[in-house]
Structure 1
Amino acid sequence: MKNDKTKPISFVLEAMTILVLGSLFAACHDNDENSGDKAAESPQVENYIQVATGQTTLYDADGEVIASLNIGDPLYGQDANYLSGKTMSYTNNGDGTITDNNTGLMWQGVPSSEDYTWQEAVDYCNELELGGYDDWRMPSCKELYSISDFSSGWPYLNTNYFTLASGKVSKNEQFWSSNYYVGVTVEGGSNAAFGVNHVTGHIKAYSAKSSGPVGGKYVRAVRGDDYGVNDYTNNGDRTITDNASGLMWAQDDSGEGMDWQDALAYAEGSEYAGYTDWRLPNVKELQGIVDYGYSPSATDASKVGPAINPLFNCTPIVNEAGNDDYGYYWTGTSANFKSGQPYYYAWYVAFGMAVDSDGDDFHGAGGVRFDTKYEGGPLGEGGERYYNYVRLVRDAE
């Protein structure tokens, strides 16, 4: 009887030992897999949360600081009056990566100092292994612009978190985006792609095939789902709501150009579609509705038009070269030509071609540049247009 009782107990103990060892082996095996492959841990991206520009100072038309402005004052309604969007916030993960706490995107903190053609930059990102992750990619213009910091400029980037590729403040600090241009530029022909300059703050189209220190550009890799994808609803009352960003836009523009001070007044005094709380958008908000799938110089006839969703109406113009085109649109965000200079410029977004002095497509439809705030104002490189259009915006209810 004794032997009959001990055999079952021994069998049970052996079985339990096998199960425990098997579980430990499986756990160790899972940990090994997770430590070697973080690609499955994709960041949770918030699309399309608006991030503030960081500009909290008010400026007059000559770029000098204004202590305060009240509703109804001339120049009221600029970026620093509204402080729209989430305050920029980042986490240094201590492994060469930076997480944007608003968008959820994870960024390469220290980019390569190499100059790349556009395709070389794409390949670099796709092959990058950093922080234990291998699912890096080239960022879009909207993603790259989301980390632009307009609090002081030169650089337009928070260098407490993001290192400059060249290691110095240089106007050559240009970073490729994934947006290949559908139009034709003076420098790149039909092979141009957009990039963000994180020292001067611009978005421009560059020759995609140029390489080396002169023509090549830098790249800063990102990971996570796509950020900056618009989700429009035509409200049927001449307004368009972007459900992704939570902003409501006027379907029509101002219909005529005006200088920056008049643009601010126009937006503040507008009664449109039954709403009176319109404002001039900041530079990130306005760049956020650019559609890089269109250009007046597009080689594909189906893509000819202003760089914005066809739901929107843009006033056509004839540009300096006598070509059919569309205008620039003011933002409420000021800019300085160089570090330490007054903010006598204001940013605009080119929904038509960002032209050179001859009126030819130089920096591409969807480019972001600046001009002096009024005709005859102080200039750095020479002005192009002082009278630009307005696209009203408000926070959707």
Structure 2
Amino acid sequence: MNIWNRKFNALVIVLIFSASTVTFNACSDDDDNISSDSDESTSGNTISFTLTDTGQDVFYYADGNEISAPSESDDFYGQDAQFTGISSSFTDNGDGTVTDNNTGLMWQQTPDYSRYNYYDAFDYVDELEIGGYTDWRLPTIKELYSLLNSNGELDATNTSNSQPYLYDEYFDFEYDANIPYAGAYWSSTKYVKGGLQTEGIEGAFGFNFADGHIKSYETGLYFDGSFGVNDPGSFIRAVRGQENVYGINDFTDNGDETVTDNATGLMWQQVDDGNAYNWTDALAYAKNSQLAGYSDWRLPNTKELQSIVDYEKTTIPAIDETYFTCTDSDSWFWTSTTQGDFKYTACYIAFGYAYSRENSSATEYYDWHGAGAQRSDPKTGDPEDYLLESDNADDLIRIENYVRLVRDVN
């Protein structure tokens, strides 16, 4: 069961910011993105999908050792801490709720620390009343990931030394006493690209605030709704606020091999260059790119890259192919974000299948965590150097992954 897996082991508020404006406009329930074609990107658009900074503020060498901030001429320039985005901003409402001042979403402050199977989770939020509000729901995976704090780090031997991947000065969090790394919280986002490790069992995405990964977890049911396998369940952090706003893209094809997401204010490389890089070389490639005449390209952080995942598409790659091309449909893409538990690794987003095998002795890999997962790979080296003996699900190691460049429109 993939929940035991360890990778290397309402107030809706509208805030006006100096850099961007958060607005909440109604969208139809089945709109995954709003798209258009244009000869050039438009500036001055209202930002409706506000991406906050990951919070990572430390620089790392490939082996995970901390380094001082690299200059632009140095190796390892361009990693997550190099670029500071919109700071996370929360308000403790004093009634068991927390408002995210950037997204306008209101969150359950304290979960009940009970595990629910996927379908019981919907019953739980339907019956929930906190702060006098009764319109709670399960968040989408993009909404849930907005709470990420990438300064997390898990010490499974002593959780008092651990920091969850969450702003725990506002949100309550407890580690599972028996399995500290099993800290996944459900989202409402189903995995629609096929079954996971148990043939025919449907999955749904969750974010693990204990170890900082997005993965699709088995719901326990077959696709026809019949009972399949026992599901150990995940936790719940409910949300309220306008739906179909946060996480909805608004793409424009700029006609110069770039695509602008007007919802986030980010410009993207339309087609990857067809090469797979280790993390060090990926940073260098981004730093030196002059794509479409721009010189300020960078490797995206985890929140930025996850923002363009298409979780509703039923085939790989998990991206809107009306606007983007993956030269390898079954590919993973690097982010600039170091993984907190194992700092010799960096995070990637799987736009192809997220392969694992049952244990380190198994020979066959399956789509274990779903296209759209966020996992991590060693930054450099040979995959054979990192093979560990494991009785649990063992993630495929690639090390050489693809790059999709990003830059700020303004």
Superposition TM-score tier, normalisation by shorter sequence: 0.7 to 0.9
* One-letter amino acid of the structure 1 residue matched with residue 355 of structure 2: V
Equivalent residues of 1:260, 1:330 under 8 A apart: yes
Taking the aligned partners of 2:356 and 2:203, their CA distance within structure 1 comes to 16
Show the counterpart of 2:282: 263
Q: Does 1:284 align with 2:303?
A: yes
* One-letter amino acid of the structure 2 residue matched with residue 363 of structure 1: H
Equivalent residues of 1:334, 1:346 under 8 A apart: yes
Taking the aligned partners of 1:181 and 1:214, their CA distance within structure 2 comes to 16
Task: Go from structure 1 to structure 2 and tell me whether the alpha carbon gap of 1:106 and 1:384 turns closer, same or farther (over 3 Å shift).
Answer: same
Q: What is the CA distance between 1:173 and its match in structure 2?
A: 0.8
> How many residues end up aligned between the 2 structures?
337
Task: Go from structure 1 to structure 2 and tell me whether the alpha carbon gap of 1:373 and 1:390 turns closer, same or farther (over 3 Å shift).
Answer: same
Q: What is the CA distance between 1:119 and its match in structure 2?
A: 1.2
Show the counterpart of 1:332: 336
Q: What is the CA distance between 1:187 and its match in structure 2?
A: 3.3
Equivalent residues of 2:316, 2:371 under 8 A apart: no
Taking the aligned partners of 1:190 and 1:152, their CA distance within structure 2 comes to 31
- Please show how residues 55-94 of structure 1 align to structure 2 within 5 Å: 55-83=56-84, 85-94=85-94
Show the counterpart of 1:207: 218
Taking the aligned partners of 1:188 and 1:290, their CA distance within structure 2 comes to 24
Taking the aligned partners of 1:179 and 1:187, their CA distance within structure 2 comes to 19
Of residues 211-220 and 351-360 in structure 1, the stretch that sits farther from structure 2 once superposed is 211-220
Taking the aligned partners of 2:271 and 2:265, their CA distance within structure 1 comes to 18
TM-score, normalised on structure 1?
A: 0.80
2:257 equivalent among 213, 230, 238: 238
Q: Does 1:309 align with 2:317?
A: no
1:198 equivalent among 183, 186, 209: 209
Q: Does 1:171 align with 2:181?
A: yes
Instruction: Identify which of structures 1 and 2 has the higher relative contact order when contacts are C-alpha pairs closer than 8 Å and 6+ apart.
Output: 2
Taking the aligned partners of 1:133 and 1:53, their CA distance within structure 2 comes to 29
Show the counterpart of 2:55: 54
Of residues 99-108 and 353-362 in structure 1, the stretch that sits farther from structure 2 once superposed is 353-362
Equivalent residues of 2:139, 2:188 under 8 A apart: yes
Taking the aligned partners of 1:387 and 1:182, their CA distance within structure 2 comes to 27
1:160 equivalent among 159, 163, 169: 169
Q: What is the CA distance between 1:209 and its match in structure 2?
A: 2.5
Of residues 136-145 and 150-159 in structure 1, the stretch that sits farther from structure 2 once superposed is 150-159
Q: What is the CA distance between 1:305 and its match in structure 2?
A: 2.6
1:273 equivalent among 280, 289, 292: 292
1:372 equivalent among 378, 382, 403: 378
Equivalent residues of 2:220, 2:231 under 8 A apart: no
TM-score, normalised on structure 2?
A: 0.78
Of residues 344-353 and 113-122 in structure 1, the stretch that sits farther from structure 2 once superposed is 113-122
> Larger Cα Rg: Structure 1 or Structure 2?
1
Taking the aligned partners of 2:236 and 2:124, their CA distance within structure 1 comes to 8
Show the counterpart of 1:319: none
Larger helix proportion of the pair: 1
In structure 2, the residue corresponding to 1:273 is in which secondary structure? helix
Taking the aligned partners of 1:262 and 1:353, their CA distance within structure 2 comes to 23
Equivalent residues of 1:166, 1:173 under 8 A apart: yes
Equivalent residues of 2:105, 2:240 under 8 A apart: yes
Q: What is the CA distance between 1:89 and its match in structure 2?
A: 1.6
Kindly report the root-mean-square deviation, in angstroms, between the aligned alpha carbons of the 2 structures.
Answer: 2.2
Structure 1 portions without partners, runs of 5+: 1-38, 295-302, 317-324
Show the counterpart of 1:131: 131
Deviations 1:180-200 (A, max 9, x none): 011221137341100000010
- Please show how residues 173-188 of structure 1 align to structure 2 within 5 Å: 173-183=183-193, 184-187=195-198
1:189 equivalent among 171, 182, 200: 200
Equivalent residues of 2:90, 2:99 under 8 A apart: yes
Taking the aligned partners of 2:183 and 2:135, their CA distance within structure 1 comes to 25
Using the aligned pairs only, state the percent identity: 47
Taking the aligned partners of 1:109 and 1:166, their CA distance within structure 2 comes to 15
Task: Go from structure 1 to structure 2 and tell me whether the alpha carbon gap of 1:166 and 1:152 turns closer, same or farther (over 3 Å shift).
Answer: closer
* One-letter amino acid of the structure 2 residue matched with residue 220 of structure 1: R
Taking the aligned partners of 2:51 and 2:153, their CA distance within structure 1 comes to 20
